[in-house]
Amino acid sequence: MPANTAEVTPAELSDYLAEAGSDSARVAECAAAATAYVRRYRTEWDESCHLGALHLAAGLYRDRATPGIAEGWESAQNVFARLTDVRIEQLCRIGRFAPPRIG
């Protein structure tokens, strides 16, 4: 399906997160951001692209909810920092996994 008609919906993201008290405004914001990001790089949107966009949206939501994620490396509390998720790039075929462009 064309990427400009596909999207990750807030309801779908909320179900994927399976968090009873999730912030609905934040869920909608993350779903829209992930959809816009994938649309920027893809003209076609298939199941793998959709799954990658859903993972990206969930990661955006969870990053904000994780205490210490934005702290410096010198902090003992920061045990995980994700610059980019290779699985999302693979599923959406963007970044280093984008097909070559000719011309």
Task: Name the residue ranges covered by the structural domains of the chain.
Answer: 3-67+77-97
CB 78 within 8 A of CB 69: yes
Give the model's pLDDT for residue 76: 47
Judge contact between 61 and 27, C-beta under 8 A: yes
Tokens of 99: 């097909």
Per-residue model confidence (pLDDT) at position 73: 46
* Per-residue confidence (pLDDT) for residue 39, from 0 to 100: 87
Rg of the chain, C-alpha, whole Å: 15
The pLDDT value recorded for residue 82 is 52
pTM value is: 0.70
Handedness of CA 69, 52, 15, 28 (dihedral sign): positive
Per-residue model confidence (pLDDT) at position 78: 45
Residue at 17: amino acid letter: L
Mean pLDDT by 10 residues, the chain (103 residues): 80 85 85 89 86 89 63 48 66 80 79
> How far, in Å, CA of 50 to CA of 54, rounded?
6
